[in-house]
Amino acid sequence: MRRVYLDNNATTPVDPQVLDAMLPYFREKFGNAASRSHAFGWEAEEAVENARQQVAAVLGAEAKEIIWTSGASESNNIAIKGVAEKYAEKGRHIITQITEHKAVIDPCKYLEQHGCRVTFLPVDKYGRIDLQQLAAAIKDDTVLVSIMHGNNEIGTLQPVGEIGKLCKQRGVLFHTDGCQTFGKVPIDVNEMGIDLLSLSGHKIHGPKGVGALYVRRKRPRVICEAIIHGGGHERNMRSGTLNVPGIVGLGTAAELCRLHMDTEPARLAALRDRLWTALSSQLDNAILNGHATDRTPSNLNVSFAYVEGESLMMGINDIAVSSGSACTSASLEPSYVLKALGVGDELAHSSIRFSVGRFNTEADIDYTAERVVTAVRKLRAMSPLYEMAQEGVDLTKVEWAHP
């Protein structure tokens, strides 16, 4: 049976070039990068510093500004909790938005329980914050604004350059979760005024279990209080023996993204648009979620009215997609991101996230479109609600009889 993987926002297959770069560091070059007294350690340290350069180059940053972590969730926690603790004397107010990934929302809620005040900004129907609302929310005791660059569920891009400029004017640090945009969308941390940025290896065809946090060193110099102690590694912000093979893999994956930045995002966007054109031209009541143009190149989130998302996924079980984000897909609650956009529960339950990656082809897209169209038509044929809607009945005005 043919299988198609279109869940690249959840994770990506490791690029063969990344794996080849990693393999020597499991056996031949297995040294600890903190071992400074022999060649094995020097070899590992050199590989780690080379990877630091590779990641920094994608961001327009300096190598010393890259802190290694276990992934974007840890990076987000270091950025948010670390800044809150380090700058507590200045203030204890943080601003974020209601559609952030749980790895930002949950640390913020944790800080709320420990004396911080957190403002959760609303978003418009496309999933974007209002810059005037953000400006009004910044107070004298605000120490951090954390707004993600690209949403993991709906793909909407936030105007991070404008947010960064506003934060600079007000003397507030700006953190962005760049997990879905690093290596896929051009980023320059200096031009955009970004002080901290979280990223992960497994979203860009690198290995799982490794990530990084960009932490600005100049204008201003940013310091995060450690949340893991023991040895003072990574500028005293993240102790622990470094995952050298993983770091080498992340560095190589970042370098491949940088080398193909002129072509790969455009190719992914073309595949995404090809799928949307095929679905929207053959199915009525297919609704695009998120911003039509300002979105990540890999993401397509669609609600198929009068179809239950889980049923649709079962009907196309040879195609890997997601209903909501992978981190919360075990829940039967409708996506909190879609609800924040004003999408009703019924439509939110009918949404599917398709996310394309480096190894997807036009044939994958055409096969997926055919399978989805067939499955949606089959499910709608069994739906009395769809039949009523086709007959012109306004379902919002129907008074349903209750037993």
Residues annotated as catalytic (active site), given as ranges: 327
Tally Cβ neighbours within 10 Å of residue 27: 8
Pairing label, strands 319-320, 4-5 = parallel
At position 26, the amino acid (one-letter code) is: F
**Per DSSP, what are the bridge partners of residue 199?**
212
**Per DSSP, what are the bridge partners of residue 288?**
302
- Is residue 220 reached through a cis peptide bond, with omega within 30 degrees of 0 on the bond before it? yes
Torsions phi, psi of 229, nearest 5? -110, 155
> Which residue's entry shows tokens 């470094």?
242
Q: Under a CB-based contact definition with an 8 Å cutoff, are residues 303 and 349 in contact? A: no
For residues 250 and 245, give the distance between their C-alpha atoms in angstroms, rounded to a whole number. 9
- Residues contacting 399, CB < 8 A, separation 6+: none
Torsions phi, psi of 322, nearest 5? -135, 150
- Residues contacting 297, CB < 8 A, separation 6+: 184, 185, 265, 266, 268, 269, 272
